């Protein structure tokens, strides 16, 4: 599944403490890849690290808020002595859902900083090293939300759209140097974050993916960039990319309301 001659012996997973990030950690450990796990909450981070270490690989942890202005310096303090051959950026959760014009602009900025600025900083740093070595891999975890504007999460959706277009351009830039780039687009996935949000996953006909399945799909297709829509959702992504936009956006909006808990 993972070719060590391409991706080396060390991977960084930003957002590696739970859900899909933890699934990536376990599957890479099963392949004998050592890990640097980055996450904001130290408790879940150390819990996952302990379970992954039991598989016999080395795991270093960094409890870090990627919105910290010194985040990259903190990451480099841990990773500079290592040869990182794989970066998985899975840290772009929706950190603020609110109508844009009545929301707090600084909270909106936080969504952009996490999903775009932090992603760019880590990709720029590790991508340059991979280009110089002429091997490696970068996986950016995206969302179906990036295929269509949505109420309450308009900025998050826009940030995810940015991530997909960025991945396509980066793929073109790095493929001559043997560096693989893939944006792994997730649909509704059964993660702790989704459960905490109270989203309904029992709706008839709703396609719900499991973290282990989408992580496995992403790793298996890491060399098949620039974009992979996981969990059997390619048709949904294609439909969301069509026209006329007003009809599509309104239809998706009505459908998405069924996912919300009753009090929303």
Residue among 134, 132, 119, 118 nearest 7 (CA): 134
Is it true that the peptide bond before 244 is cis, omega within 30 degrees of 0? Answer: yes
Q: What is the pLDDT of residues 146-197, one digit of tens each?
A: 999 999 999 999 999 999 999 999 999 999 999 999 999 999 887 666 555 5
What is the pLDDT, as a whole number, of residue 92? 77
Domain-embedded: residue 64? yes
Q: How far apart are the first and last CA of the chain?
A: 42
10-to-51, 86, 235 alpha-carbon distances in Å: 17, 7, 34
What is the pLDDT, as a whole number, of residue 249? 96
In the chain, how long is the greatest CA-to-CA distance?
Answer: 53
Token pair recorded at residue 107: 């909270």
Domain with 48, as residue range(s), is: 4-259
Token pair recorded at residue 95: 């950190």
CATH number at residue 97: 3.40.50.720
What is the pLDDT, as a whole number, of residue 41? 94
Domain-embedded: residue 82? yes
What is the pLDDT, as a whole number, of residue 204? 62
pLDDT < 70: residue spans in the chain: 1, 191-206, 259-264
Token pair recorded at residue 43: 């408790």
pTM of the model: 0.93
Kindly give the residue spans of alpha helices, DSSP state H, lying in 150-189. 154-174
Domain-embedded: residue 264? no
Token pair recorded at residue 87: 């970066």
What is the pLDDT, as a whole number, of residue 264? 46
183-to-78, 100, 138 alpha-carbon distances in Å: 25, 26, 8
Domain-embedded: residue 107? yes
Domain-embedded: residue 189? yes
What is the pLDDT, as a whole number, of residue 203? 61
What is the pLDDT, as a whole number, of residue 97? 82
Domain-embedded: residue 244? yes
Cα atoms in the Cβ-side hemisphere of radius 13 Å centred on 226: 13
As for how many domains the chain has, the answer is 1
Cα angle 144, 155, 204 (rounded to 5 degrees) comes to 35
CA-based Rg of the chain, rounded to a whole angstrom? 18
Give the separation between CA 13 and CA 17, rounded to whole angstroms: 9
Pairing of β 10-14 and β 34-39 = parallel
Chain centroid to CA 185: 8
């Amino acid at each position: 599944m993972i070719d060590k001659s391409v991706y080396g012996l060390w991977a960084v997973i930003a957002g590696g403490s739970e859900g899909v990030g933890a699934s990536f950690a376990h599957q890479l450990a099963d392949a004998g890849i050592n890990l640097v796990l980055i996450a904001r909450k130290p408790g879940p981070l150390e819990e996952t690290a302990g379970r992954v270490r039991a598989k016999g690989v080395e795991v270093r942890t960094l409890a870090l808020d990627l919105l910290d202005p010194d985040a990259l310096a903190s990451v480099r303090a841990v990773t500079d002595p290592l040869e990182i051959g794989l970066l998985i950026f899975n840290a772009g959760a929706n950190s603020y859902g609110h109508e844009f014009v009545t929301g707090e602009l600084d909270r909106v900025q936080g969504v952009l900083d996490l999903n775009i600025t932090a992603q760019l900083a880590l990709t720029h740093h590790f991508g340059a090293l991979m280009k110089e070595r002429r091997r490696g891999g970068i996986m950016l975890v995206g969302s179906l939300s990036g295929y269509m504007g949505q109420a309450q999460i308009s900025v998050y959706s826009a940030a995810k759209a940015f991530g997909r277009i960025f991945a396509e351009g980066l793929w073109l830039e790095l493929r001559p140097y043997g560096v693989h780039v893939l944006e792994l687009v997730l649909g509704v996935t059964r993660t702790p974050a989704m459960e905490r949000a109270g989203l309904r996953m029992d709706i008839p006909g709703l396609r719900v993916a499991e973290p282990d399945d989408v992580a496995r799909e992403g790793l298996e297709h890491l060399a098949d960039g620039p974009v992979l829509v996981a969990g059997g959702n390619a048709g949904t992504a294609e439909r969301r990319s069509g026209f006329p936009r007003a009809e599509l956006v309104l239809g998706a909006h009505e459908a998405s309301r069924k996912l919300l808990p009753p009090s929303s």
